[in-house]
Structure 1
Amino acid sequence: MREIHTQNPEKVNVWAGVIGENVIGPFFIDGNLNGETYLALLQNNVVPTMVNLCSTEGNLQLPALSPHNLSKSLERRRDSVESARSPVLTPLDFFLSGYVKSMVYKTKPDDLADLRRRIILAIRSITPQVLINARRHFYLRLGCCQDAGGMHFEHLLH
């Protein structure tokens, strides 16, 4: 017999995104994830990183993007925006999440610190060419989704 504690499993909340050939993050959220902690993450970490990236990368342009403008916009929309998305269509779901998990869980992490370290290393290993290929695959998925009239299209991906 082996005793397993399942009432309070250890977990890591992590946020990452992709802009062009750049991965934004990872950013870790300590404690419970709720609307307030998520908004704080966006305002304190994500927005400043995006602004910095856009100011250093000449090919990236996000109109009227400033920490103040985007933060106020996020705050106004926090309760009213519902994000309609298909998990087989978004690059974060069909590529980034699976890629990172495949790298992180090649072997079982020793503890939460090891898990965080592995997530950081996995995300840092993503090259611009990998993201270009993911974007190309995203456009393929969009076409298949359109061909299927918005219905299931996984069978069309060959």
Structure 2
Amino acid sequence: MANENPNIYSEILWTDEATFTRNGGVNLHNMHYWSETNPHWIQQVQRQGRWSVNVWCGVLGGKIIGPFIFQRVNGAVYLNFLSNELPPPLEEVPLAIRRDRFYQHDGCPSHFARDVRQFLDLTYPARWIGRGSVFPWPPRSPDLTVLDFYLWGRIKHLVFATRPTTSENMVERIREAIESISVADIETAVLLTRQRLLDCIQNDGQHFEHLGRH
């Protein structure tokens, strides 16, 4: 597909979730936790004074979609997010990109829920990427999407320049960090996706950072 359409990487809505913790850590596999509560309610984890913030972001072309703040989420919450919360910010994306876009996510349980897959089949017919689609996505592959190899690290650097005081303060910093990232920087990072995918194939799915081209 990329050989036929070199712009395909800019036509994919790349998505991912991460947990930002009080101590400066970023967990890229936070969506293994579930709850029935409002996805925009901020989670404060109280384990000996520890707390964290769960964040969803997407990248489409040169635009960052989000952030959206989740508490623990299950398939129903994620479906509500896809149906009701995500469409409004996508309206700001040029129509030519929105019309032909793909949707990518990984294969965590909330993403694999039957209702979610049915919704994606109707909304993105043969144009969504993930477990259970015609374009399966490899599990636990943080090297491959622009969010994992670029965005989360950039946000972490900005957010933790000084330690956040509360979860609300951290959310504010995350929003400010995202707003500070230029379209040109995101577009450049998206273009790196092609080489990373080729390197992954070349190394039979094994680590490829040692190649030193990124």
Give the TM-score normalised by the residue count of structure 2. 0.58
Query: As a proportion of its length, which structure holds more strand?
Result: 2
Q: Counterparts of 1:74-93 in structure 2 under 5 Å? A: 74=116, 76=118, 81=132, 83-85=137-139, 86-93=141-148
Q: Counterparts of 1:3-152 in structure 2 under 5 Å? A: 6=47, 9-29=50-70, 31-50=71-90, 52-54=91-93, 57-63=94-100, 74=116, 76=118, 81=132, 83-85=137-139, 86-152=141-207
Structure 2 CA distance, aligned partners of 1:99 and 1:122?
Answer: 8
Residue range with higher mean Cα deviation, 124-133 or 39-48: 39-48
Shift of 1:22: 0.5
Q: Contact 1:87 / 1:93 at 8 angstroms: preserved in 2?
A: yes
3-state SS, counterpart of residue 110 of structure 1? coil
Structure 1 CA distance, aligned partners of 2:162 and 2:150?
Answer: 20
3-state SS, counterpart of residue 162 of structure 2? coil
Structure 1 CA distance, aligned partners of 2:100 and 2:116?
Answer: 15
Query: As a proportion of its length, which structure holds more helix?
Result: 1
Q: Contact 2:57 / 2:67 at 8 angstroms: preserved in 1?
A: yes
Shift of 1:136: 2.2
Q: Contact 1:141 / 1:157 at 8 angstroms: preserved in 2?
A: no
Paired letter, 1:48: P
Q: Structure 1: where are the runs of 5+ without partners?
A: 66-72
Shift of 1:64: 9.3
Q: Structure 2: where are the runs of 5+ without partners?
A: 1-45, 103-114, 121-130
3-state SS, counterpart of residue 26 of structure 1? strand
Q: CA RMSD in A?
A: 2.8
Structure 2 CA distance, aligned partners of 1:39 and 1:83?
Answer: 19
Q: Contact 1:144 / 1:157 at 8 angstroms: preserved in 2?
A: no
Structure 2 CA distance, aligned partners of 1:83 and 1:13?
Answer: 22
Give the TM-score normalised by the residue count of structure 1. 0.76
Q: Contact 2:57 / 2:66 at 8 angstroms: preserved in 1?
A: yes
3-state SS, counterpart of residue 107 of structure 1? coil
3-state SS, counterpart of residue 149 of structure 1? coil
Q: Contact 2:53 / 2:69 at 8 angstroms: preserved in 1?
A: yes
- Structure with max Cα Rg: 1
Q: Contact 2:78 / 2:116 at 8 angstroms: preserved in 1?
A: no
Q: Contact 1:13 / 1:33 at 8 angstroms: preserved in 2?
A: no
Shift of 1:83: 4.4
